Structure 1
Amino acid sequence: METMMRNAFLYLSKNRMANRTAKRYGLKFGAKRFVAGVQIADAIQAIRELNSRGIVATLDHLGEFISTEKEAADAADYCIRTLEAIAESGVRSHLSLKMTQLGLDISEELCLKHMRMILDIARKNAQFVRIDMEDYAHNEVSLRIFKTLREEYGETVGLVIQAYLYKSLDDIADLATYKPNLRLVKGAYKESSEVAYPDKADVDKNFMVMIEEHLKNGCYAAVATHDDNIIAHVKRFVQEQQIPNSQFEFQMLYGIRTQAQQELANEGYTMRVYVPYGDDWYGYFMRRLAERPANVWFVLKSMFKS
């Protein structure tokens, strides 16, 4: 049953008609729990509240289904406005973005143009930009673009690596010479067993090995997980290997396990919360529902209260 629900929500996450319908209704039926708001000001206020509790953030203006150069240019402009809002407000936050939002499916050159515009602003303001890894079809091109931008912009730019892909350990080894700041995640897209581990236990095992290898390479690791076993494993490993807290951080999603987030911050670890905002929230919301059945029950309760 759980697998069927996951597959259904992942299918719905890519439905363009449902996405358009969702925009008309706004952040209803539980979406407010996972999305900070529609406007930049909403997101900045959410980050101020996190910062006041010793938690930092990464801000993401949600956007999917880009099909025209104008839409891509608008998305790039919004990323720049987000960086400027972070700088003007003084909140402690990075920026995360998806390159398909910036026109990657139109052309690699267009995407690179927009990435350079964004990174020019980030470098000027001493900010950090994380490139989110998307589905497997975009994996190799994302790695290629990241390497190009890393050579041009250095530590201003980082990337995400997904544990459910067979190739990810090789990717970490290949990227080690760049000394990259990587967000390490399990992965939230539906992929074929030809490229990804179908068994959760194998994903978890690969995730822990990835974290260890990346840290042993002397690189910065953003460990993005809500899994207590993974968190405990990281704590033990860094203590055994005498890896300083300054070389890694924990990351969680906005609205999920807020008490655990606070506990990690109180223990002295860097705790970063991924804060999404914007009116194009539908695909992101569907993937959150796919990840955990508990999220579905929360939404159902919200619907009955509406």
Structure 2
Amino acid sequence: MEAISKNFFLYLSNNKVLDRLAKRFGSRFGADKIVGGETFSQAIPIIEQLNHDGLQVTVDHLGEFVTSEEEARNRAEECVEAVQLIAENQLQSEISLKLTSLGLDISHQLVIENMEKILKEAQAREVTVTIDMEDSSRCESTLEIYKSLKKDYSNLGTVIQSYLYRSDCDIEELHSVDPYLRLVKGAYKESGKVAFIDKEMVDSNLKHLIKKNLKNGHYTAIASHDDAIINYTKQLEREMSLSKDQFEFQMLYGMRNETQKQLVKEGYTVRVYLPYGEDWYGYFMRRLAERPANVAFAIKGIFSK
């Protein structure tokens, strides 16, 4: 049943008719409950409120699979502007981005040029940048780019997905560059040839990866709404005598708000993933596909104050 639910939402995420309707009527269906606006400037008051509530933020300009060099360079400029506004407004926020939005599918040189432009500004402004992970076909190139850039930019993180078989080896290979990793389950439709299909295996591997990266001594972001994963991390904190500044929890804007606040009260760092932009529909459907329980969280988040 869970596999059917996941496939259903992944199918919806690629439906162009529904995507157009979502852009047209998004506010009526609660898009403002899960997205911080169409521009970064519109997201600033939300970030300020989240910071006031003790929450850290990472922002992501929605949109991927850019097909022209001009558009890729424009996306890079948008990221630079976001970095500048974060610094100028003294926001406690990082930025997240997808390499496909910066030209990954167009040219290796193009995506490197765009990333370096963003990272130079971010390093000067002391803003951290995280490269989001996309589908498995782009995993190798994403990690190679991450490793090459991490040598010169310490303010750079990336994402590892626990549903991929390769992730354990990836963490091992990244060890030498002192990675800042966001660990997630994964939200793209993947073949059983490259990914665990069984939920229990995905969850078990996520726990394994969390422990491994923390044991390796690297700062770790645990991005999950799952109480079992959150409690497991707390258990590791006790067993490994971890300091609370060695890891953080990350959750989506608009989901599990009370859990976020409770974790802050307990002294944990909690970072809210705040997307902005018009292309929110596909993002939201993939989040629902990621975990069926997110459907309940979404309904509560959209229709409750």
Give TM-score scaled by structure 2 length. Answer: 0.94
Tell me, yes or no, if the aligned pair for 2:256 and 2:297 is still in contact at 8 Å: no
Shift of 1:64: 2.1
Q: How many residues align?
A: 304
Question: Which residue number corresponds to residue 225 of structure 2?
Answer: 226
Distance (Å, rounded) in 2 between the aligned partners of 1:262 and 1:298: 15
What does residue 181 of structure 2 align with? Answer: 182
Judged with a 3 Å threshold, the aligned counterparts in structure 2 of structure 1 residues 266 and 303 are, in CA distance, closer, same or farther, namely closer
SS in 2 for 1:183: strand
**Cα separation, partners in 2 of 1:21 and 1:205, compared to 1, 3 Å:** same
Cα offset for 1:103? 0.9
Counting only pairs closer than 5 Å after superposition, residues 266-305 of structure 1 correspond to structure 2 as: 266-293=265-292, 296=295
Alignment-derived partner of residue 164 in structure 2? 165
5+ long unaligned stretches in structure 1: none
SS in 1 for 2:152: helix
Higher mean alpha-carbon deviation, 290-299 vs 66-75, is at: 290-299
SS where residue 133 of structure 1 aligns? Answer: coil
Which residue of the partner structure matches residue 259 of structure 1? Answer: 258
CA distance, structure 1, for counterparts of residue 121 and residue 73 of structure 2: 15
Residue pair 2:254, 2:301 contacting (<8 A) in 1 also: no
* Aligned-partner residue type, residue 44 of structure 2: I
Determine if contact 1:30/1:298 at 8 Å carries over to the other structure.
no
Distance 1:205 1:299, change over 3 A: closer
Pairing 1:12-27 to 2, within 5 Å after superposition: 12-16=12-16, 18-27=18-27
Cα pair 2:254 2:298 within 8 Å, conserved: no
> How far apart, CA to CA, are the structure 2 residues paired with 1:237 and 1:285?
31
Q: Once the two structures are aligned, what percentage of the paired residues are identical?
A: 51
Any unmatched runs of 5+ in structure 2? Answer: none
Cα distance between partner residues in 1 of 2:298 and 2:243:
39
**Contact 2:65/2:105 (<8 A) preserved:** no
Aligned 8 A contact 2:6 2:289 in 1: yes
Name the residue aligned to 1:106. Answer: 106
The amino acid across from 1:198 in the alignment is: I
Partner of 2:75: 75
- Shift in CA distance, 273/78, structure 1 to aligned 2, threshold 3 Å: same
3-state SS of the aligned residue for 1:191? coil
Contact 2:38 2:277 in 1 (8 A): yes
**2:54 paired residue number:** 54
Q: CA RMSD in A?
A: 2.1
